[in-house]
Amino acid sequence: MELRYDALGKRIRDARKKKRLTQQQVAEKIGVEPSHISNVERGITKPSLKAVVDIAEVLSVTVDSLVYDSLSQERSHYLDSLEAVVKKATPKQLRVITAMSEEMLRTLNTEYEE
């Protein structure tokens, strides 16, 4: 699992703009240079955990909302995890898991189309 700094930076930029703050204002509040905020937002600089926490606090968002989906994981990792769970199930549980999974996928496809 690897952190995608470009995605993290984009989320920070989006949250900053939503809060109507400039890079200068965020930088002043967390004690760094505006160029540092610019580099973080463009994925050039890897921010420290403290910087991410400070930025999240200034922007009134959670660290999770900034980091979520910035973590790249291979599809195979998810399939392996799912397989490990399903291997423990009884035949009856497998039928229920399959039906629930199909319904969840249908719901996700209709309600969360991107």
Quick count: other Cβ atoms within 10 Å of Cβ 8? 23
What residue ranges do the domains of the chain occupy? 2-72, 75-111
- Assigned token pair, 77: 């990792």
Q: What is the pLDDT of residues 39-76, one digit of tens each?
A: 999 999 999 999 999 999 999 999 988 987 655 556 66
User: Would you identify the CATH topology of the domain 2-72?
Assistant: 434 Repressor (Amino-terminal Domain) (1.10.260)
3-state secondary structure of 2: strand
Residue 37 vs residues 22, 29, 97: alpha-carbon distances, Å = 10, 11, 45
Residue 5 vs residues 67, 68, 100: alpha-carbon distances, Å = 9, 11, 34
Dist. CA 8–CA 12, nearest whole Å:
6
pLDDT of residue 52: 96
0.85 surpassed by pTM: no
